[in-house]
Amino acid sequence: MFKQDFRLPNGLENQRQYHIKCGPGDIAPIVIVPGDQGRVQSIVEKISNPKKIAENRGLITYTGNYEGYPVSVTSTGMGGPSASIVYEELINIGAKVLIRIGSVAGLQEEIEEGDIVIPYACVRDDGASNYYVDENFPATASPEVYLSLTLSSKELKINYKTGINWSHSCFYNRDPEYFQRWGRCRVISMDMEASALFIVSSLRGIKSGFIGICYANRFKQSKKEKVDLSVPDTTRDLIKEATSNAIDITLKAVKKLYQSESLGTLEMKIF
């Protein structure tokens, strides 16, 4: 397994991809990758000239533009194994930047429902990345993407919190210590996909970042002997507002990335 050389082609580049049903020319260089299929429409509503490219196994892809800059949106499904397939296939057909918008749970007292988090690194427990590379290989956001997200948040005057995120694999774990141990290490949040994103992107030589919306606080919910595994109503106004804000931040960051010299010249094909 660890003799793989990720600098070499995998033989699947520049052809129609098995799971996402997209091929060369279907996507923009920058792709927003939410896990939730339902979040795709919320993003698409904020871009111009969106065209539905494909839908297969719940993996939905649209391509359009934002203020003249091409952008695609592809849902990944839940968990590192599903998401890593989507990341790989998008890279195979030309994705240069992947930005995840997703839900998180807080792991510190101060991470409240409706908060936005922009992690710069992840604890790797996603169920996929250990099959790519040794566990001591770090999962980090690309500095250019992280900076674009945080600067966009500041310019929009939207508060965010930053730190290390834990990408885990067992949503309904009943052991309080499963959650508390990472809270004691100052890990701020948890999701299920971001560390796989960071690893696949790094190994494949592209850029990536992650912005999360806090739906619940698992640190508080696991303080007692029995863990409260519920998630409060995600249709509440504060969650809707936070999701809309996260999308605005991401789209502004997309524009910044196209304008950034640090990424070189990204193809400006207008869809």
Average pLDDT, the chain: 95
pLDDT of residue 2: 73
pTM higher than the cut 0.75: yes
Q: What is the mean pLDDT of residues 31-41?
A: 96
Residue 265: band (very low, low, confident or very high) from pLDDT cuts 50, 70, 90: low
- The tens digit of pLDDT for each residue in 106-121 reads 999 999 999 999 999 9
- The tens digit of pLDDT for each residue in 133-142 reads 999 999 999 9
pLDDT of residue 3: 85
Q: What is the mean pLDDT of residues 75-88?
A: 97
pLDDT above 90: residue 267: no
Residue 55: band (very low, low, confident or very high) from pLDDT cuts 50, 70, 90: very high
- Which amino acid is it at 106? G
Q: How many CB atoms lie within 10 A of CB 23?
A: 16
Q: What is the mean pLDDT of residues 35-59?
A: 97
pLDDT of residue 182: 97
Q: What is the mean pLDDT of residues 84-108?
A: 98
- The tens digit of pLDDT for each residue in 204-246 reads 999 999 999 999 999 999 999 999 999 999 999 999 999 999 9
Is pLDDT larger for residue 30 or for residue 1?
A: 30
- The tens digit of pLDDT for each residue in 172-211 reads 999 999 999 999 999 999 999 999 999 999 999 999 999 9
